[in-house]
Structure 1
């Protein structure tokens, strides 16, 4: 649900709830004698108002929010600014006078209403978006001796952090993302875990696991540039042999625990391009592929990206 707070001429507050896909019709809820009265009204935004649309209309934790912004004049050269809380998210031009920003949500956040502030073309809009709760399964993992308590190296953490922070201005992907491996999904996004009997408070499964057979192909789910290649011999103790693809505009994919790597940093890959094979390197209990999708540095659920187009 997306709402906007505005002040009426009488000084009282009105809460307008935007009716999906109808720009000029709004639903007014007015306090009358301590009760809410609700009725549809035809209320057009001022002609010079900043036009903002947010998808999905009913987001839940783990979703990627798309903020679409239309401006009257982009001649100023400055892209619109999108903020929520104390975080800012880049807006990229996707058509003349139209911009889009992505806002990630994660299982570690609290559900509830958050305000998204959009400023551009000399105007400001504040929209309240209700992010719904989502229940995530709990899994108990027992790591064998030698892998229990394995910690990432400083080099590994640095390289992966730099990769996830990429915000390349160019958009490389086009359309929906494909499957990186033909195996069945064994662990979904967002699962909370106990490791050897101890609950990991700040952990959630940051991606999807595919039970591909050892040596089975791992392919690029979407176009992008290979921006990370790491191996166990280089110190990637947790990720194992890993490949990271920069899809552009703050969207990145990481592929972990590979047995073989078939690309090098700087390569440009198209959807379906072989990038490696399934293995069990790093912190892994058996052969599988871990695919993580990151938006502006945060792990989001990859599933929506497979079944709908993020423009």
Structure 2
């Protein structure tokens, strides 16, 4: 087919206008910056995976933000990236805007964060309750651990159950203390009623980045181990009777790292396992049964 000169000029002009519009208005070809959210829609407590594909292989990570809070993206292959958005029971359910920028292009995706009912408990305390407050040393060590963002990814597939005991308290339970609702509290993990001295295993591979003991001032958490699984994902294990690892050790999935105990603020032997993503305690269920990548 022969294209007449005026048609060729028109085609070039339209292409030029499209390019100018892309620069001015951030309009991109659908295949230039592809973004997918999983799960979509999520509910409170879910970890949202943001998968990003670009045409260019610059090696410069895209940016991902929600409500002006930015989350790190990690390169998973030549032109694919992944970021995690943690959600918690304290978040406001409703429509969220996920803004992704990469290779000079930007996409905004609507994310409908669904509500979820969490059980409530009433707890009555006597005295000052000082045993429920961490020491300054304990607070600083645990806070620093939860903020770790290691570039490498050490886990692979679904996480293992860290203890064979039955679950006594699930994730996200809200509480009344002496009849007053604790607005900023939710149970940040899962409690397993394992027998005293029963093994606690690493649910996934990673480096031991936190070891704290009662003798060092871990008054609230008791004997504690924290494992860094990489890319902002960390596990913390509380109230242990024994610790089998030291800071800097690399542990494999299924490796024994300690034993169930009742140290710290515990009414009886049990394991508290908390899973954190980008500093926020999230629901471990999907990580245990489906695997989050």
- 1:245 equivalent in alignment to 2:227: yes
In structure 2, relative to structure 1, the CA distance for the partners of 1:236 and 1:102 (3 Å cut) is same
Aligned to 1:27: none
Instruction: Tell me if the contact between 2:131 and 2:220 (Cα under 8 Å) persists in the aligned partners.
Output: no
Structure 2: gaps spanning 5 or more residues: 1-27
TM-score where L is the length of structure 2: 0.87
* Equivalent pairs, count: 266
CA drift at 1:85: 0.8
CA drift at 1:149: 5.2
Aligned to 1:136: 118
Aligned to 1:113: 95
- In 2, the alpha carbon distance for the partners of 1:47 and 1:298 equals 32
CA drift at 1:199: 2.8
- 1:273 equivalent in alignment to 2:255: yes
Instruction: Tell me if the contact between 1:147 and 1:283 (Cα under 8 Å) persists in the aligned partners.
Output: no
CA drift at 1:141: 2.9
CA drift at 1:194: 2.2
Taking the TM superposition and a 5 Å limit, the aligned residue runs for 1:150-299 are 150-299=132-281
Aligned to 2:43: 60
CA RMSD, 1 decimal: 1.5
CA drift at 1:145: 6.2
- 1:97 equivalent in alignment to 2:79: yes
Instruction: Tell me if the contact between 2:131 and 2:265 (Cα under 8 Å) persists in the aligned partners.
Output: no
- In 1, the alpha carbon distance for the partners of 2:137 and 2:117 equals 34
- In 2, the alpha carbon distance for the partners of 1:146 and 1:272 equals 40
Secondary structure class of the residue paired with 2:108: strand
Structure 1: gaps spanning 5 or more residues: 1-44
Aligned to 2:4: none
Instruction: Tell me if the contact between 1:74 and 1:121 (Cα under 8 Å) persists in the aligned partners.
Output: no
In structure 2, relative to structure 1, the CA distance for the partners of 1:255 and 1:96 (3 Å cut) is same
CA drift at 1:96: 1.4
Bigger helix share = 2
TM-score where L is the length of structure 1: 0.82
Secondary structure class of the residue paired with 1:285: coil
- In 1, the alpha carbon distance for the partners of 2:39 and 2:176 equals 32
Deviations 1:242-265 (A, max 9, x none): 000000000000000101111000
- In 2, the alpha carbon distance for the partners of 1:87 and 1:128 equals 16
- In 2, the alpha carbon distance for the partners of 1:145 and 1:231 equals 25
- In 1, the alpha carbon distance for the partners of 2:157 and 2:125 equals 38
CA drift at 1:122: 1.5
- In 2, the alpha carbon distance for the partners of 1:139 and 1:309 equals 29
In structure 2, relative to structure 1, the CA distance for the partners of 1:134 and 1:265 (3 Å cut) is same
Instruction: Tell me if the contact between 1:144 and 1:285 (Cα under 8 Å) persists in the aligned partners.
Output: no
Aligned to 1:123: 105
